[in-house]
């Protein structure tokens, strides 16, 4: 039975993706115009655990509640401007953005967008050691599960799929990679580049820690190459998602070594939201502290050559209920950033007029 376990699992995923219609409403209260930008941008990262049956149970009801919560936040003017989702594999999960009123919904790599890189001499032994019993070498049965939802216009999209060999265990059944959306904020000349990703799991992959670590290092390397090629350093950069670091020291070192030295120019160093909050004394809720200790969901950020960015606060709309339950197996948290510089000519003239009392030309 075990011999066919991963094949049956993959078939179940593929079949259930087309089995039933979405239960999440397919339309929501989309605002007539984007909200004004008052200098602060809120970005939420959330792994919604949108896995199909039989891999996960009872997910449609929880996904409906996630969309309802986002709608309620919007009704009270507290919804995040941008949301990055991971594990949005099912149609229910992929309907959250539209159902909660986001004007722009961008999907990450699909099953058809396969990484084109071939293993080099150093990678070939790892690739040859793959086991189809653990889901390796069977192809991609679902896409990346990545989405970016935005209230503001998306003016550029870049997608990237990890090479087929750069994965370990059951993670290989999903076409993991990265998604970048360039977001245009009102009256700002420079967009903000938003990236989301979901890196290889550790224990859940079903393979040894050494094998999952090697795949993890390869994915961090490829993600770094994608960011360096796709991101315009003149713009502010936010990279958020499920990085699956946890308490594994080697994973933390593999990730942060590249984040700190290669994701942005030395003159615009990357920071992370929880780290910035700890250093600057920003108060964290119990759920935020739990998420920080768990070290899976990160928001990295860096200024651009023409814009500054700083963390202002962290809020957790998706944490533990009073009975201890959660709508996902991850916390969904919002990091709010202040953005300055990079104004458009029109907004610059207005701000100058407000100081000098002169009318803009």
The pLDDT of residue 347 is: 38
DSSP string, 161-189: E-BTTS--GGGGGB--EEEEEEEPPTTBS
Alpha-carbon distance values, 55 to 81, 170, 327 (Å) = 31, 11, 16
- Reported confidence tier of residue 34, pLDDT bands at 50, 70, 90: confident
Of 175, 203, 200, nearest in space to 17 by CA? 175
196-245 pLDDT per residue, tens: 999 999 988 889 889 999 999 999 999 999 999 999 999 999 999 999 99
- Reported confidence tier of residue 133, pLDDT bands at 50, 70, 90: confident
- C-alpha span between 303 and 310 (Å, rounded): 8
The pLDDT of residue 56 is: 67
The pLDDT of residue 278 is: 97
H or E stretch covering 87: strand 82-88
Share of the chain above pLDDT 90, in %: 70
Looking at the DSSP assignment, which residues form a beta bridge with residue 123? none
The pLDDT of residue 36 is: 92
Q: Is the pLDDT of residue 137 over 90?
A: no
The pLDDT of residue 267 is: 86
Q: In order of start, what are the domains of the chain with their CATH numbers?
A: 2-29+38-356 (3.60.10.10)
Q: Is the pLDDT of residue 51 over 90?
A: no
Residue 63 and residue 91 in contact, taking contact as beta carbons nearer than 8 Å: no
Tracing tokens 């930008």 back to the chain, one arrives at: 37
Work out the mean pLDDT of the chain and round it to a whole number. 87
Q: Is the pLDDT of residue 354 over 60?
A: no
Residue 333 and residue 297 in contact, taking contact as beta carbons nearer than 8 Å: yes
283-339 pLDDT per residue, tens: 999 999 999 999 999 999 999 999 999 999 999 999 999 999 999 999 999 999 999
56-68 pLDDT per residue, tens: 666 899 999 999 9
Share of the chain above pLDDT 70, in %: 84
The larger pLDDT score, comparing residue 345 to residue 187, is at: 187
The pLDDT of residue 33 is: 80
The pLDDT of residue 187 is: 87
143-183 pLDDT per residue, tens: 999 999 999 999 999 999 999 889 999 999 999 999 999 99
pTM beyond 0.85: yes
The pLDDT of residue 129 is: 74
Tracing tokens 């390869």 back to the chain, one arrives at: 218
- C-alpha span between 259 and 233 (Å, rounded): 14
Q: 1-15, 47-61, 270-284 — which one is most confidently predicted on average?
A: 270-284
The pLDDT of residue 13 is: 53
342-352 pLDDT per residue, tens: 554 333 333 33
The pLDDT of residue 323 is: 97
Mean pLDDT, to the nearest integer, of 261-287?
Answer: 95
């Amino acid at each position: 039975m075990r011999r066919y376990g991963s094949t049956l699992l993959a078939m179940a995923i593929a079949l259930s993706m087309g089995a039933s219609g979405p239960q999440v409403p397919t339309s929501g209260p989309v605002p007539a115009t984007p909200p004004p930008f008052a200098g602060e941008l809120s970005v939420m990262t959330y792994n919604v655990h949108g896995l199909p049956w039989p891999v996960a149970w009872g997910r449609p009801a929880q996904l409906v509640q996630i969309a309802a919560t986002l709608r309620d936040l919007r009704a009270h003017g507290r919804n995040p401007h941008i949301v990055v989702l991971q594990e949005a594999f099912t149609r229910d999960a992929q309907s959250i953005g539209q159902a909660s009123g986001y004007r722009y919904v961008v999907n990450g790599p699909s099953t058809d967008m396969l990484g084109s890189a071939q293993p080099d001499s150093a990678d070939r032994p790892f690739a040859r050691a793959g086991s189809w019993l653990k889901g390796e070498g069977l192809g991609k049965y679902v896409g990346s599960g990545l989405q970016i939802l935005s209230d503001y216009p998306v003016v550029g999209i870049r997608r990237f799929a990890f090479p087929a060999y750069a994965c370990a265990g059951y993670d290989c059944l999903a076409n993991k990679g990265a998604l970048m959306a360039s977001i245009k904020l009102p009256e700002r000349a420079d967009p903000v580049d938003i990236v989301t990703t979901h890196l290889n799991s550790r224990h859940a992959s079903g393979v040894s820690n050494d094998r999952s670590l090697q795949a993890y290092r390869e994915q961090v390397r490829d993600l770094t190459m994608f960011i360096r090629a796709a991101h315009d350093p003149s713009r502010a950069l936010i990279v958020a998602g499920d990085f699956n670091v946890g308490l594994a020291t080697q994973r933390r070192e593999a990730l942060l070594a590249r984040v700190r030295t290669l994701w942005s120019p030395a003159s615009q160093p990357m920071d992370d939201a929880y780290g910035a909050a700890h250093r600057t004394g920003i108060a964290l809720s119990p759920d935020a502290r739990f998420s920080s200790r768990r070290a899976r969901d990160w928001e990295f950020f860096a200024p651009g050559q023409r814009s500054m960015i700083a963390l202002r606060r962290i809020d957790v709309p998706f944490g533990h209920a009073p009975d201890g339950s959660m709508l996902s197996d991850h916390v969904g948290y919002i990091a709010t950033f202040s953005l300055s510089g990079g104004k458009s000519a029109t907004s610059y003239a207005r701000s100058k007029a407000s100081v000098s009392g002169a009318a803009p030309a």
